[in-house]
Every structure is written in structure tokens, then in C-alpha cells.
């Protein structure tokens, strides 16, 4: 018998790409997720565990409310979502986007060893605290407005915390 699962459904608020790491990304209406690589044309693509980055649009809005002059792509996030509480996700959570794309969360937050251009431009960078990173298990074209579905084993966090 399979483990009980819970689903959280949201949508893509923004997709953004950049040709260099550590810089703001430029919003686009659609992009191609390549299996085992990331977003076609994005500097963070490659054979590693942080192929795609996610950030809640609600986090970007909260940064604006604190007085930061920011918009989509300014924190170097690839995909900004609405309606997803990323704090409930854990490593191993499956993410389905649109009609066919599938990803797996590989990292929650990150360590910044030095302040990047984003920090100096925005006055803060929320990616180390609130960013989520994933690898692409199955590629496909994604568009702003596409559904984002998190599929989490209900006992996943307990299992991970036992290690």
C-alpha cells in the first residue's frame, strides 16, 4: 500500500531567466524545462541539484511591503508561484507544473558566502531564507498561469528529521 499523500495547488505567477549567475533575471511568458538540466537559456541550468529555483510571489510582495523596490526576477528566482506555501515542502517533494513537467525539490534555502548584486540592488535577498531549489525529472514547456502542484508524502518530514 502506498504512503498517504497530500496535494497543494497553486500557479506560476512569473518565470524568469538570466544568462549570468548572481544577477537579476528577466521575466518571460513561457520557457522550456529540460530534463536533468533546468530552464533552457538560464545560467543556473546544468547537471547539478539546483537546476531551478522557486520563490513565493507572496514573499516578493512582503519584501515590497517592507519598502524594497523589487519585482519578479529581482531575487534571481526562476519561478515565482502564488498559492504555494513553500515552507511546508521538504527535500524529495514532487512538483508538477503545467501539462507535463515534473521536478523534485533538492534543497531548501541556501548559504550565501558573499553579498551578490541582488543584495546590493534590493537591500536584502530572501532566496537564502525562502528559496526552494529543484532538479528537473521530466521536461516540458511552462507558461505563466500554469498550475503548480506539490505532492508530499504526509510522513516525509518526520522521516527526514529522523536522520
- pLDDT tens digits, 103-134: 999 999 887 656 666 666 666 677 878 999 99
pLDDT the model gives residue 106: 97
Domain that residue 23 falls in: 5-161
Q: Read off the pLDDT of each residue in 29-47 and give the average, rounded to a whole number.
A: 97
28 DSSP β-pair partners:
15
Residue 160 has pLDDT above 60, yes or no: no
CA distance 114 to 91: 25
- CATH number, domain of 69, equals 2.40.33.20
Cβ burial, residue 105 (10 Å; 0-12/13-18/19+) = buried
User: Total domain count for the chain?
Assistant: 1
pLDDT the model gives residue 59: 93
Only one residue has cell 517592507, namely 66
| Cell of residue 8, nine digits | 497543494
Residues above pLDDT 90, as percent of the chain: 61
Residue 156 has pLDDT above 60, yes or no: no
Residue 159 has pLDDT above 50, yes or no: no
pLDDT, tens digit, 9 for 90 and up, residues 6-24: 678 999 999 999 999 878 8
Residue 145 has pLDDT above 70, yes or no: yes
Average pLDDT of the chain is 86
Q: Read off the pLDDT of each residue in 64-86 and give the average, rounded to a whole number.
A: 91
* pLDDT band with cut points at 50, 70 and 90 for residue 162: very low
Amino acid at each position: 500500500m502506498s504512503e498517504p499523500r497530500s496535494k497543494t495547488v497553486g500557479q506560476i505567477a512569473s518565470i524568469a531567466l538570466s544568462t549570468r549567475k548572481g544577477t537579476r533575471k528577466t521575466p518571460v511568458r513561457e520557457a522550456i524545462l529540460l530534463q536533468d538540466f533546468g530552464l533552457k537559456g538560464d545560467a543556473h541550468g546544468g547537471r547539478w541539484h539546483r537546476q531551478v529555483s522557486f520563490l513565493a510571489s507572496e514573499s516578493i510582495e512582503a519584501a515590497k511591503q517592507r519598502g524594497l523596490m523589487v519585482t519578479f526576477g529581482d531575487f534571481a528566482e526562476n519561478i515565482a508561484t502564488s498559492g504555494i506555501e513553500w515552507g511546508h515542502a521538504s527535500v524529495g517533494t514532487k512538483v508538477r507544473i503545467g501539462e507535463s513537467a515534473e521536478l523534485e525539490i533538492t534543497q531548501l534555502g541556501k548559504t550565501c558566502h558573499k553579498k551578490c548584486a541582488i543584495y546590493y540592488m534590493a537591500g536584502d535577498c530572501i532566496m537564502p531564507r525562502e528559496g526552494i531549489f529543484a532538479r528537473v525529472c521530466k521536461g516540458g514547456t511552462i507558461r505563466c498561469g500554469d498550475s503548480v502542484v506539490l505532492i508530499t508524502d504526509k510522513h516525509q518530514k518526520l522521516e527526514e528529521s529522523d536522520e
